[in-house]
Amino acid sequence: MNSNSAASRTTRAPVHPAAAAVGRAWPITWRTSLGLIAALTSCTPAGDERQPGTPPVDGTTSSASDRGAGLPCTPSVTALPAIPGGYRLVGKDVAVPEDTVLAVEDSGEADRAARLFAKWGLVVRAGAVVDLQVAPDWESRARIGWGTARTPAATTTVRACPPNDEQSGWMAFVGGTWVAQAACVPLVVRSNGQENRVNLGIGVACDEPRR
């Protein structure tokens, strides 16, 4: 073996353009953001996401002075410039999936009303405070929750951080819906003094009987 042949085998390979582009990926597009929502695991430790000092996942500032209400922002997945494809507006400040059926899996929860879980990302207008509630007749059969320290509940409040640039028009939150059995679940959404309702097919389409 001569020195020339050894040198040829140790020559550094050129960097692939796709790998080099990783460092230039920001700002994240809504397509990438939607992929991040789907990739997140559905199980996180239960806790109170309203505790002071809990920063949003995307690094957005979470302080009482920003919100003016003494409570921090709900931890979010990422900021989005617009509502992602495959989502529909509910009122003016919330977007939910357009999917006819949201897939369910066993949740492992002791609460019988939360036996099955459908993971989906909630999208909220930056700066909005939104109250979500399982419709009154469904409080014994369904639960909801978003944020990294979520707890299944019949009601929840999501506080989206105010926008800090043109890429932060909307915020995405990980979570979803728990149900006792697959069903078309009605949710009540309140924001800015307005109330809207939306039906979500959790494990079954809304025009099909419950299983």
Residue 51 lies in a domain: yes
- Look at residue 210 and tell me if it is in a domain: no
Residue 8 lies in a domain: no
State the Cα–Cα distance between residues 97 and 200, nearest whole angstrom: 9
pLDDT reported for residue 156: 96
CB 200 within 8 A of CB 208: no
pLDDT at position 130 is 97
Asked whether 99 and 198 are in contact (CB, 8 A), the reply is no
Tokens for 110, please give them: 């002791």
Residue 182 lies in a domain: yes
The CATH number for 26's domain is 2.60.40
Pairing of strands 122-125, 94-97: antiparallel
When divided into structural domains, the chain yields a total of 1
Note the pLDDT tens digit of each residue in 97-113: 999 999 999 999 999 99
Residues 6+ apart with CB under 8 A from 18: none
Amino acid, single-letter form, for residue 84: P
Residue 15 in any domain: the answer is: no
Note the pLDDT tens digit of each residue in 73-86: 999 989 999 999 99
Predicted confidence at residue 121, as pLDDT, reads 96
- Quote the pLDDT of residue 70: 60
Summarize pLDDT for 112-141 with one digit per residue, the tens: 999 999 999 999 999 999 999 999 999 999
* 58: Cβ contacts below 8 Å, ≥ 6 apart: 76, 77, 78, 79, 171
29 within domain boundaries: yes
User: Across the strands, what pairs with 116?
Assistant: 106, 179
Give yes or no for a contact between 134 and 142, defined as CB atoms under 8 angstroms apart: yes
Range of the domain at 113: 21-202
Quick one: tokens of 193?
Answer: 């003094």
In a domain, 131, yes or no: yes
Reported as a single tens digit per residue, the pLDDT across 54-73 is 333 333 333 233 333 568 89
User: What element of type H or E holds 145?
Assistant: strand 142-146
pLDDT at 168: 83
Q: Are strands 94-97 and 155-159 parallel, antiparallel or unpaired?
A: unpaired
Does residue 66 sit within a domain? yes
Contact predicate 160/172, CB 8 Å: no
Please report where in the chains the tokens 């207008």 appear, as a residue. Answer: 125
